[in-house]
Amino acid sequence: MKLIAINGSPRKNWNTDSLLKEVIDGASSAGAETEMIYLYNLDFKGCKGCMACKIKNGKSLGRCNKKDDLKEVLDKVHEADVLVLGSPIYWHDVTGVMRCFIERLFFQYLNYDDHDSPLSTPKRTAMIYTMNMPSELHEENKYETLIFKKYENLMKEFFGHCETLYTTQTLFVKNYEKYHLGVFDEEFMKERHETHFSKITEKAYELGVNLIEMSDRK
């Protein structure tokens, strides 16, 4: 059983990275082989629409033909049993590199002859999001429907399954006084990190366990 975690955050050892590591630890405890891939370490771009993945009887049918750092990653994802994507929310969406990854991941599998039969293999998947904004702003901006459901539905369409885990009001930096971050209450943010974020890490660990156990029961 293999789990691949794709990290779309530029900040290692911070919020998104911490939650993905908990997922990996949970999956490992359930007996899975795991790997974390940091998109910001790779040299790649989004889909260029070359259509090589759509050529009838072509050697690249259903697979991205672009030879860059993402090629090996997409091969690993294709073979994995479980896929977890993690990203902070920047400007009301996932990060730019995650968006480029998602373009490349799904377009290769898109079947224009029969949309109900994508060229992908079924797998358990999850989406993890972190954001600094308060919960009330998250609700006001309708992230549940405009962002989370959008990607969750994509994952379900191509892989058959997806779960979503997110957290709001994450810790921005260790020292707020060093930056122009006056709208944030540093004491409150640190207290929330100690209480709320620790609960989310527990949920991330449980998610990792459950994804593997569900895959084992297929």
Sequence ranges of the domains in the chain: 2-216
For the chain, where are the alpha helices, taking DSSP H only? 15-29, 70-79, 96-107, 135-140, 143, 149-159, 186-192, 198-216
CA atoms within 13 A on the CB side of 164: 17
Per-residue pLDDT 10s for the chain (218 aa) are: 999 999 999 999 999 999 999 999 999 999 999 999 999 999 999 999 999 999 998 899 999 999 999 999 999 999 999 999 999 999 989 999 999 999 999 999 999 988 888 889 999 999 999 998 877 776 776 787 888 999 999 999 999 999 999 999 898 888 999 999 988 888 988 998 889 999 999 999 999 999 999 876 65
Quote the distance between the C-alpha of residue 71 and its chain's center.
Answer: 18
pTM for this one? 0.93
Residue 9: name the closest of 80, 97, 140 by CA.
Answer: 97
Q: Does domain 2-216 have CATH number 3.40.1280.10?
A: no
CA atoms within 13 A on the CB side of 109: 22
Q: 3, exposed or middle or buried, with CB in 10 Å at 0-12, 13-18, 19+?
A: buried
